[in-house]
């Protein structure tokens, strides 16, 4: 039965190869093996992307997780977003035995973004204060356990209410994207560690989602949590829970916004930030959630970093992503010929 399944898969792949134009069959096809969740596959591998990829000589092939990875392929690129220690080990071993294959991205580098304590540290360590603007991270505190001690710990740390509470683990699950806003000291005891507490920064109810694909940068506006006034603090109490805040339905690109709020971060600042993060994180596929402090023009805060985000929501992602995949193979061939 298993042999039959493998034969069918091989036949399907041969048919896909034959369906490419003859000129592309003669030239080198770029074979991209992908290991994604069913949800990610559906959102990312949309028909328009696959169609454009085929026209450019790129073939996407699903990786069978029930078979040894080395027995599959050959691949030029491995694209993945799966969690679990076993998968990370398989991929690391594959990287060692197949150095000719580009793995997007190295598992050890991705792990850095699975913990919100370490996620923003590289941004905090940067010195990006220049004429284009200042980039920082909100003051934050990690609570591993014991919710009853949170009010005292917050008081000692000097954090200012309200506080945004986020799960410590950022593994891409729906739960890891949930957040809460705590308005008073007493309500802090209702939170569920392990978590990260961030000072809430008023930002006009708009965040900038900065998608990074290699050296390409695309910015979109998303509606976010509204500003909190002093009156809100004096009249509100408790913990307010929110689902995932930035989503496709919350696009603010076509909304009638105050120009001071809607103005995108300066391009040179984003380019410098993206370049430094690519270098420090060792990643090529990620996005940043950035806010501008309300009432300022050049004070920005990075509040989250995500690996392999929902590129299907990014305008023109099909062209940007296929060009990126081609650039990887072209740069590798240049290195070989040198």
Q: What is the rounded distance in angstroms from the CA atom of residue 311 to the CA atom of residue 333?
A: 27
310 is in an annotated binding site: yes
E strand or H helix at 167: strand 163-167
Q: Kindly write down the DSSP assignment for every residue of 28-92, as one continuous string.
A: --EEEEEEE-HHHHHHHS-HHHHHHHHHTTEEEEE--TTS-GGGS---SEEEEE--SHHHHHHHH
312 is in an annotated binding site: no
198 is in an annotated binding site: yes
Q: Are 314 and 218 in contact (CB under 8 A)?
A: yes
166 is in an annotated binding site: yes
81 is in an annotated binding site: yes
336 is in an annotated binding site: no
205 is in an annotated binding site: yes
209 is in an annotated binding site: yes
334 is in an annotated binding site: no
Dmax of the chain from CA atoms? Answer: 71
154 is in an annotated binding site: no
131 is in an annotated binding site: no
133 is in an annotated binding site: no
116 is in an annotated binding site: yes
200 is in an annotated binding site: yes
125 is in an annotated binding site: no
Q: What is the rounded distance in angstroms from the CA atom of residue 52 to the CA atom of residue 188?
A: 50
3-state SS assignment for residue 300: strand
289 is in an annotated binding site: yes
207 is in an annotated binding site: yes
User: Is the peptide bond prior to 85 cis by the omega test (within 30 degrees of 0)?
Assistant: no
| Binding region for Mg(2+) | 289, 304, 306
| Binding region for ATP | 116, 166, 198-209, 224
| Binding region | 40, 81, 116, 166, 177, 198-209, 224, 289, 304, 306, 310
| Binding region for 1D-myo-inositol 1,3,4-trisphosphate | 40, 81, 177, 209, 306, 310
């Amino acid at each position: 039965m298993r042999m039959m399944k493998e034969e069918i898969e091989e036949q399907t792949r041969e048919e896909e190869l034959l369906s490419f134009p003859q000129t592309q069959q003669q030239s080198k096809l770029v074979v991209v093996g992908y290991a994604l969740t069913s949800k990610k596959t559906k959102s990312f591998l949309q028909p328009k992307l696959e169609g454009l990829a085929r026209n450019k000589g790129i073939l996407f092939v699903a990786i069978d997780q029930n078979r040894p990875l080395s027995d599959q392929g050959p691949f030029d690129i491995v694209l993945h977003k799966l969690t679990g220690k076993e998968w990370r080990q398989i991929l690391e071993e594959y990287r060692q035995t197949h150095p000719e294959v580009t793995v997007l991205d190295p598992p050890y580098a991705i792990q850095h973004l699975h913990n919100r304590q370490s996620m923003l540290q590289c941004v905090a360590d940067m010195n990006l204060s220049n004429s284009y603007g200042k980039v920082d991270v909100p003051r934050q505190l990690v609570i591993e356990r014991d919710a009853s001690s949170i009010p005292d710990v917050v008081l000692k740390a000097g954090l200012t209410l309200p506080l945004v509470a986020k799960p410590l683990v950022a593994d891409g699950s729906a739960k890891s994207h949930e957040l809460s806003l705590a308005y008073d000291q007493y309500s802090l005891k209702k939170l569920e560690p392990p978590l990260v507490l961030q000072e809430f920064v008023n930002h006009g109810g708009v965040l900038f989602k900065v998608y990074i694909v290699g050296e390409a940068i695309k910015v979109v506006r998303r509606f976010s949590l509204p500003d909190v006034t002093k009156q809100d603090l004096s009249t509100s109490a408790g913990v307010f829970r929110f689902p995932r805040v930035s989503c496709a339905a919350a696009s603010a690109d076509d909304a009638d916004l105050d120009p001071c709020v809607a103005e995108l971060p300066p391009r040179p600042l984003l380019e410098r930030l993206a370049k430094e993060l690519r270098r420090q994180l060792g990643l090529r596929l990620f996005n940043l959630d950035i806010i501008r402090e309300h009432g300022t023009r050049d004070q920005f805060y990075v509040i989250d970093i995500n690996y392999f985000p929902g590129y299907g929501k990014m305008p023109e992602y099909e062209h940007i992503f296929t060009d990126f995949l081609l650039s990887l193979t072209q740069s590798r061939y240049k290195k070989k010929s040198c």
